[in-house]
Structures are given as structure tokens and as C-alpha cells.
């Protein structure tokens, strides 16, 4: 597959929530940062629903997310895409990796791998048990990508220099699960390629996934986007605001937008403005897009927020 260059007119960003619940404050932060960064560069901003794992999908939550974004004042370009409608793209990428002999089947169970944790301090790194087995029963196996003794590094726009030594820090990772679902690592790389995404702004929890994704981009001859990872919003008991932690749905009002902007280091007071200077959400977005500065987003893993 030949490399697809980024558009000459520059910036294409995206927001890709999973439809496992309504939009919460943590997701709003990622949406706001990616949207403001795209619009401040006069770029495009796309929406993708990451619904490839249908077992986690909550009925109608995609519509709740889209409605809340609209109420907040987000405006996206092009049509909303769904991972569940792009399976053939992932199959093509997997076939290419297979043909290059960069993959192998793995029949290790979670129970087997968990047992290793009692004897190996680095048990979270897959030890390559199936790499040379030559398994051919694909109905009950996962597919792993072979990783070399190689360091992947990149410069994040917020977190700066970041690197991983793949064989030591990651190990051969799964790109196709034994329940016949393509992994996040492969699907997101393929999605961003087909959407021609040039800039990815997302949460810090995905920072350590980025070298895996860059490695897949290299193997598939895809261009590498620019990355920026914002801090995670956590509660007072240090829990990440997420659907799993039962974070409540955001209120699509001006107060919430201003709170999110402040979290992202974009406090209007820097420009002599106060909260009451904004009469509605449109006023807020006009200000944020005109004054967005990714260099003032806090360089930290997480930050406490009360919502």
C-alpha cells in the first residue's frame, strides 16, 4: 500500500469517542483541545465513533454524544464515520502485515499470562511464547505483531520527548483478538490513515500507545501524524473521569466550557477577560479559537477537577 500524503492545505484533526455512555467531562476536554487546535489552524475537524468493540456499545449513546457536542457548540466537517463500517480496511491492513510475515498467531489464554505474573516482574510484557510455534488454527487464536529490538521516539506537542524500546517495554502486541475483533492499536492507525488525519490531540492515557501506533504506521508505509496528549482529569480520589468510573454527563453550558478551558490552560483572565464577559457558547468559542495556545496546556499526566 503506498503512502497517502497529508493534504497540501494542512491540518486535519479528529475526535473519536467510544459509544459506551454519554459524553463526560474527560471526553469534553479531548474534544475541546482537538477542536480548538484544528480551528485555530483553520483546519478540518472530523468525528469518528470508535464502536469496533460492539460488546461495549451502549444503545443510542452515539446519538447522545453527538447531541451534547452540538449543544456545546462544536461543528464538525464531513460526515460522522463509524469503525463498525470500516472492517474491510482493517482486514486489508492485517493481510498486508501477514504477507510481510510480520505477524503470528497466539493461543495464550489470559489465565496462562496471569500465571506468569507470580514469577516474572515484567509479566505485562508478552514473552513471545507463541512466536515460533507456527500455529495455523486461526479460529481460536489472536494475532500478534512482531516487534524488533528498536526504540520508537517522537516529540509530543505537549509532553515533549517520549520513547519506548519496543521489545523491552512493549513486547509483541495483539492486533487481532481471539474473539475476532481488531485491536484498538491497529484500527485507530488505519482509521486515521483513511481519514488523512494530520494532527491527533487526545488524553495522556494514550501516550504509551503512541509508539506502537507509530511502529504500525511504519510497517504499513503510512505517514506519521503530529501528536499532542493533554492531562487526564481525575476526581479527588485520583480516579480518571470516565464511563467506567461513572463520570456524569456534562452539562453543555457556558460554565462547563469555561471550566474545561481553564483546565487546558486557556483561562480568559490571561487576556483580561472575566467569565461574565461571555454571554453565550458562541462567544466562548470565538474567544477560544482566536486565542488557543497549545503551549499553555499543562505538561502533566493528570490534574484534579471537581465537576
**pLDDT at residue 286 is higher than 50:** yes
Long-range CB pairs of 244-252 (<8 Å, 24+ gap) are 247/24, 247/25, 247/26, 247/307, 248/24, 248/307, 249/22, 249/23, 249/24, 249/64, 249/68, 250/23, 250/24, 250/25, 250/27, 250/28, 250/68, 250/72, 250/307, 252/68, 252/71, 252/72, 252/281
Q: 249-267: per-residue pLDDT in tens?
A: 899 999 999 999 999 999 8
Tell me the C-alpha distance between 279 and 236, whole Å.
Answer: 31
Mean pLDDT of 122-148: 87
Tell me the C-alpha distance between 288 and 37, whole Å.
Answer: 10
Q: 137-186: per-residue pLDDT in tens?
A: 777 899 999 999 999 999 999 999 999 999 999 999 999 999 999 999 99
Q: Which three cell numbers stand for residue 169?
A: 517495554
User: Quick one: pLDDT band at residue 111, thresholds 50, 70, 90?
Assistant: confident
User: Quick one: pLDDT band at residue 14, thresholds 50, 70, 90?
Assistant: very high
Q: 34-50: per-residue pLDDT in tens?
A: 999 999 999 999 999 99
The segment with the largest mean pLDDT, out of 110-114, 233-237, 254-258, is 254-258
Share of the chain above pLDDT 70, in %: 90
User: Quick one: pLDDT band at residue 241, thresholds 50, 70, 90?
Assistant: low
- Most distant CA pair in the chain, distance: 66
Mean pLDDT of 193-203: 97
Q: What pairing do the DSSP bridges indicate for beta strands 232-234 and 226-230?
A: unpaired
Q: Which residue has the higher pLDDT, 306 or 109?
A: 109
**pLDDT at residue 234 is higher than 90:** no
Mean pLDDT of 275-299: 93
**pLDDT at residue 120 is higher than 90:** no
Q: Which residue has the higher pLDDT, 253 or 304?
A: 253
Place of cell 495556545: 293
Q: Residue 147, by phi and psi: left (phi above 0), alpha (psi -120 to 50) or beta?
A: beta
Mean pLDDT of 67-79: 97
**pLDDT at residue 7 is higher than 60:** no
Q: Which of 43, 38, 62, 47 is nearest to 15 (CA)?
A: 47
pLDDT of residue 230: 97
pLDDT of residue 117: 62
- CATH 3.30.465.10 is right for the domain spanning 1-307: no
pLDDT of residue 301: 87
pLDDT of residue 306: 63
pLDDT of residue 2: 37
pLDDT of residue 237: 65
pLDDT of residue 229: 98
pLDDT of residue 245: 45
Amino acid at each position: 500500500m503506498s503512502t497517502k500524503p497529508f493534504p497540501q492545505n494542512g491540518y486535519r484533526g479528529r475526535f473519536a469517542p467510544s459509544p459506551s455512555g454519554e459524553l463526560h467531562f474527560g471526553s469534553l476536554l479531548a474534544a475541546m483541545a482537538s477542536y480548538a487546535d484544528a480551528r485555530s489552524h483553520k483546519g478540518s475537524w472530523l468525528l469518528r465513533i470508535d464502536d469496533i468493540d460492539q460488546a461495549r456499545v451502549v444503545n443510542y449513546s452515539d446519538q447522545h454524544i453527538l447531541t451534547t457536542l452540538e449543544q456545546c457548540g462544536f461543528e464538525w466537517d464531513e460526515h460522522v464515520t463509524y469503525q463498525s463500517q470500516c472492517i474491510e480496511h482493517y482486514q486489508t491492513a492485517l493481510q498486508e502485515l501477514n504477507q510481510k510475515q510480520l505477524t503470528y498467531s497466539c493461543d495464550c489464554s489470559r489465565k496462562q499470562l496471569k500465571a506468569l505474573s507470580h514469577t516474572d516482574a515484567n509479566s505485562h510484557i508478552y514473552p513471545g511464547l507463541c512466536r515460533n510455534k507456527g500455529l495455523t488454527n486461526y479460529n481460536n487464536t489472536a494475532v500478534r505483531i512482531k516487534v524488533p529490538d528498536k526504540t520508537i521516539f517522537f516529540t509530543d506537542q505537549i509532553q515533549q520527548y517520549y520513547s519506548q524500546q519496543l521489545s523491552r517495554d512493549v513486547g509483541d502486541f495483539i492486533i487481532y483478538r481471539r474473539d475476532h475483533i481488531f485491536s484498538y492499536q491497529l484500527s485507530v492507525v488505519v482509521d486515521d490513515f483513511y481519514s488523512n488525519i494530520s494532527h491527533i490531540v487526545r488524553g495522556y492515557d494514550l501516550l504509551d500507545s503512541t509508539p506502537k501506533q507509530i511502529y504500525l504506521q511504519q510497517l504499513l508505509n503510512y505517514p506519521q501524524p503530529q501528536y499532542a496528549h493533554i492531562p487526564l482529569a481525575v476526581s479527588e480520589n485520583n480516579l480518571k473521569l470516565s464511563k467506567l468510573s461513572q463520570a456524569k454527563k456534562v452539562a453543555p453550558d457556558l460554565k462547563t466550557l469555561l471550566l474545561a478551558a481553564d483546565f487546558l490552560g486557556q483561562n480568559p483572565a490571561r487576556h483580561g477577560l472575566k467569565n461574565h464577559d461571555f454571554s453565550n457558547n458562541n462567544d466562548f468559542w470565538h474567544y477560544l479559537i482566536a486565542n488557543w495556545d497549545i503551549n499553555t496546556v499543562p505538561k502533566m499526566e493528570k490534574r484534579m477537577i471537581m465537576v
